[in-house]
Amino acid sequence: MNKPTNNSLNGLSDIRTAITSIDNQLLELLSQRRHMSQQVAKQKRSIDKALRDQTRERELLEALIKKASKKGLDSHYIQRIFNTIIEDSVQYQQDYMQSLLQPELKDDSSKSLAVLGGKGAYSYLAAKKFFSKSDNNYLACNSFDEVFEAVIQGDADYGVLPIENTTSGGITEVYDLLLDSNLCVIGEEKYAVNHCLVAPKGCKLSQITQIAAHPEAGRQCSKQLKTLVSAKIKLVESTAHALEMVATQHPISIAAIASQEAAGLFNLDILKSDITNQSENITRFLVLAKKPIQVALSVQCKTSIALSTGQKAGSLAEVLSLFHEAEIPLTKLESRPIPNKPWEQMFYIDLEGNGKDPKVQSTLSDLSRMCRFLRILGSYPTKDMVATQLPAASLAKVKLAAEQAANSVKQQPQSADQPQPSKLNKEIRLVSRQHKSSDTLIEVKQQIIGGDHFVVIAGPNRLVCLEQMLACASHARETGINIISTGVVDPNALHSDNKQAEKASLEFLKQAANRYFMPCMVEITSPNQLKTLAHSADIIQLSAANMQNQALLQLLGQINRPVMLRRDPMASIEQLLTAAESILGLGNQQVFLCEQGIRTIDSQSGLTLDLSAVALLKNLTHLPVLVDPTYAAKDSEELKALTIAAKAVGAQGIIIEFDQSLDAVSNNNQTLLDFSSMTQLMSQLHTNEV
């Protein structure tokens, strides 16, 4: 290898200097933009307008992406950056509005905070995040009730406690303490918990005989810990206690479950990261105080209440109907038994709305006349900020314009006609329109399948490597494809056996989906795969060949994952719906159907696409109906025509296979598209041109 010359080193130094100069300019511009956000907040306050305007956000993103595409910048990159900037702007405006009402809450004055554990505990980290503008004093408590008592007695200004986790659910002890005290909820914080196994410097996994963990942390990592070591779990009062045990032990034999940040605070090594059972592990914390706070009506707000309805039949349904009629969304409903009152429940509810809002006040007033007990725990600014997403049509138009320098045209309108239900076999009940007249909507990571939504699921036919999957996912995101998928794994390309190839393919698909914030779909062929697939994939596909595989249908009916059910080319519509009925009957209501064609006497193609089946299925069932035209199309042009036709007859989505280097060639009786053809198809799907 040639050594770099002084000239090349000097050139690299000059480039780095230029990059630093650009970065400094970006920082200055971001500072100026934040200052303008405050001006926006002042104007909105003067006219009492909501801080967030998602219509304006979508218009801004679309305009920015169009300009960025002309500069060679991809839409996913720009959308991620500006969603972060918009989120910061909204949060900054929200903090400004709240500072006018509650200046002591978000200013830089020192605050005393009671947290479970101490330095390094998750409550400590969440409190530090919420009160980030001030240099605080932390009161380490050994239990949840000590945190409550510290605030009640005035030893701390605020208490910060976990209330629920996406892996282990609600923390019941905190709910009970919340009701027994007179403290108010004045804020919330969400903290992404990435549990790690930590130990003193130089320690090896084989040396560990005991793992110290808070009970919640232990539950959240139970599956992973069994595969790591045979060490015993020692439950402790808090993560801070676990860290202290590890930091002060001699000789080394104990590890702890803690965060990466905590490991740094205690100068510990990370033996294993990402040991949580679920990849997305988020804990929600409540901030408690003696007195409630006021929340500006323009700020996105959440209100927490506790109520008891007694044992009257249908009383909870009456309560929920009040919120439904008032169009007040509920984000949380948790029940707890009432001590000394057998079979009676206390319900904890989080609703979207401000306690000062007349609509909320009126609903709570009506509620008080129905309940035995009703208490408002607090109104506070919410952390539930959903990033604004551009519709697939906008992305497809921008991508086509970038590739062909063509002007976008109008979107094709969706039909508003509702199907009139037809009768089915009496045994087919749950999937029928008689059972449910409205369309089923399946939500997967902000993507909706069903109703008036049109989704595109696409990906490579044969998975070869991670780079291929990342390229396909990037192009999918750029063109407005909603869900990424992959077909057959190529063990030869991965230089491994089938089992290793399957594991690698799931990892490749998951990495690509996570990088580009897309749901992913994989196919199941054996009951043994279910545990792995359900952990890795957002949607599980049952192939046409397995449509009537009762063992798989039963397993898929017991999981909480959307399932796509393909129609066998030799199966009737009734047989397809019977298979779907089997899944719904076991509890899983997240099923959608795929029509891919039927066997006919036509020798020119593998299958004949039965588009009449789409209209018939929509008439018979409330389940979403998608179409896969790849088995029936002879070439890319016919595939595009069949895709447009499928949308025209009312299909609620399509499934397409595409790859970077293909030139619309046939593979296993399927027509595949290359990147350019896929871009054209996505644009055509959202225009009036075929």
Give the model confidence (pLDDT) of 312-364 as tens digits.
777 888 899 999 999 999 999 988 887 767 777 889 999 999 999 999 999 99
Tally of residues, the chain: 690
- Alpha helix stretches (DSSP H) within 251-391: 260-265, 315-325, 358-368
Question: What three-state secondary structure class fits 58?
Answer: helix
600 or 309, greater pLDDT: 309
Q: Compute the average pLDDT of residues 469-493.
A: 81
Predicted structure pTM score:
0.71
| Cis-peptide, bond into residue 251, ω within 30° of zero | yes
Res. 539: pLDDT tops 70: yes
pLDDT for 613: 93
- Is the confidence at residue 96, as pLDDT, over 90? no
Sign of the CA dihedral with 44 first, then 49, 51, and 54 last: negative
The CA-based dihedral angle spanning residues 421, 424, 427, 432, taken in that order and rounded to the nearest 10 degrees? -20
* pLDDT value at residue 265: 87
Given a cut of 80, whether residue 421 has pLDDT beyond it is: no
| Residue given tokens 């939504």 in the structure block | 453
Dihedral sign computed on CA atoms, order 57, 63, 65, 67: negative
Neighbour count for residue 329 (Cβ, 10 Å): 10
C-alpha distances out from residue 500 to 8, 464, 495, Å:
44, 13, 9
For residues 54 and 60, what is the distance between their CA atoms, to the nearest angstrom? 10
Cα 331 to chain centroid distance, Å, stands at 15
Residue 416 has a pLDDT of 45
Say if CB 548 and CB 577 are below 8 A apart: no
pLDDT of res. 238: 85
Q: What is the pLDDT of residues 590-632, one digit of tens each?
A: 999 999 988 876 655 578 899 999 999 999 999 999 999 988 8
**Structure tokens of 528?**
């043994």
Structure-block tokens of residue 174: 């905190």
Cα-based angle 582, 588, 592 (whole degrees, multiple of 5): 80
* Closest to 506 in 3D by CA, of 547, 478, 469: 469
Q: In the predicted model, is pLDDT for residue 666 greater than 50?
A: no
Residue 497 confidence (pLDDT) above 60: no
Q: Any residues with CB less than 8 A from the CB of 252 and at least 6 apart, and which?
A: 199, 200, 203, 207
Q: 432: which strand partners?
A: 621
Distances (CA, A) of 116 to 36, 174, 185, 653: 39, 12, 17, 48
The pLDDT confidence band at residue 521, using thresholds 50, 70 and 90, is: very high
| Cα(130)–Cα(106) distance, integer angstroms | 9
pLDDT surpasses 90 at 547 = yes
For residues 345 and 308, is the Cβ–Cβ distance under 8 A? Answer: yes
Q: Does the pLDDT at position 389 exceed 50?
A: yes
Question: Which helix (DSSP H) or strand (DSSP E) does residue 234 occupy?
Answer: strand 232-235
Going along the chain from its start, the domains and CATH numbers come out as 50-101 (no CATH), 196-282 (3.40.190.10), 298-384 (3.30.70.260), 425-685 (3.20.20.70)
- Pair type for strands 483-485 and 169-170: unpaired
Q: What is the pLDDT of residue 555?
A: 92
Q: How far apart (Å, rounded) are the C-alpha atoms in residues 203 and 297?
A: 54
Report whether 197 contacts 287 (CB < 8 A): no
Rounded mean pLDDT, 653-682: 76
In the chain, the amino acid numbered 663 is D
Q: Yes or no: say if 162 and 171 are a contact pair by the CB < 8 Å rule.
A: yes
Across the range 293-303, mean pLDDT stands at 90
* The pair of three-digit structure tokens given for residue 629, joined into one six-digit string: 């035209």
What is the mean pLDDT of the segment spanning 145-165? 94
Lowest mean pLDDT: which of 98-107, 135-144, 375-384, 545-554? 98-107
Nearest to 51 by CA among 62, 34, 33, 37: 37
End-to-end CA distance of the chain: 54
Hunting for tokens 């503008």 — which residue is that?
Answer: 133
Nearest-angstrom CA–CA distance, 302 and 78: 30
User: Residue 466: which residues within 8 A CB-CB, separation 6 or more?
Assistant: 508, 511, 512
Q: Which amino acid is at 421?
A: P
Sorted by sequence, the CB contacts under 8 Å of residue 239 that are 6+ apart come out as 117, 120, 121, 122, 213, 214, 217, 256, 257, 258, 259, 262
Please tell me the predicted confidence (pLDDT) of residue 689: 43
Which of the residue ranges 71-80, 377-386, 577-586, 658-667 would you say has the lowest mean pLDDT? 658-667
Query: Does the active-site annotation cover 227?
Result: no
pLDDT of residue 291: 93
Partnered with residue 306 across adjacent β-strands are 348, 375
pLDDT band at 676 (very low <50, low <70, confident <90, very high): confident
CA distances from 35 to 31, 134, 221, 395, 690 (A): 6, 20, 43, 30, 47
Share of the chain above pLDDT 70, in %: 88
In this predicted structure, which of 75-84, 386-395, 439-448 has the lowest mean pLDDT? 386-395
pLDDT digits (tens, 9 = 90+) for 451-474: 999 999 999 887 778 888 999 999
Mean pLDDT (whole number) for 193-212: 88
> How sure is the predictor about 408, in pLDDT bands with cuts at 50, 70 and 90?
very low
Residue 187 pLDDT class (50, 70, 90 cuts): very high
Q: Is the pLDDT of residue 418 over 50?
A: no
Residue 690 pLDDT greater than 50, yes or no:
no
Report yes or no: 396 and 545 within 8 Å, Cβ to Cβ.
no
Q: Which of 347, 349, 343 is nearest to 311 (CA)?
A: 343
Token look-up 């225009």 returns 687
Report pLDDT for 289: 95
Give pLDDT, residue 465. Answer: 84
Q: Which of 285, 347, 508, 592 is catalytic?
A: 285
The sign of the CA dihedral 252, 257, 261, 266 is: negative
For residue 285, indicate whether it is catalytic: yes
Q: Does the pLDDT at position 481 exceed 60? A: yes
Phi, psi of 622 (to 5 degrees): -85, -5
Catalytic pick among 239, 276, 283, 303? 283
The torsion defined by the Cα of 60, 61, 63 and 68, in degrees rounded to 10, comes to 140
Q: Return the closest-CA partner of residue 182 out of 303, 306, 294.
A: 306
Instruction: Tell me what the pLDDT averaged over the chain comes to.
Output: 85
| Bridging pattern class, strands 462-463 and 488-489 | parallel
